[in-house]
Amino acid sequence: MTDAHQPLEATFSTLAMSIASSAIMSLGLAPNPATEKVEKDLEMARFNIDLLKLLKDKTKGNLETEESQFLDSIIGDLQLKFVEASK
């Protein structure tokens, strides 16, 4: 059982998920927590996906295998969702 007041740990996965969450909201697949509205902004989604790709390029060779696979999985999934949202 986790303590609700336990601070979040700053990890590579947390950073990647934060950016991915922004992309998911921009794809219109989740509500914006600030407005509680679903908003689609494909340019912002593309920007967030590009940020993840940049992060992948800049950290190449410096990630643990699991981190690298996690990032590849997130990017691939978001790219597929972007194509679907663009139709």
pLDDT surpasses 50 at 1: no
- Tell me whether residue 30 is exposed, middle or buried, using C-beta atoms within 10 angstroms of its C-beta: 0 to 12, 13 to 18, 19 or more: middle
Cα 25 from Cα 35, distance rounded (Å): 11
Strand partners, 27: 40
pLDDT in tens, 61-72: 999 999 999 999
For residue 15, the model assigns a pLDDT of: 95
Residue 69's Cβ-side half-sphere holds a number of Cα atoms within 13 Å equal to: 3
pLDDT in tens, 5-46: 778 789 999 999 999 999 999 999 999 888 999 999 999 999
Tokens for 65, please give them.
Answer: 């295998």
Residue 86 pLDDT grade (very low, low, confident, very high; cuts 50, 70, 90): very high
Taking residues 69-79, what's their average pLDDT? 97
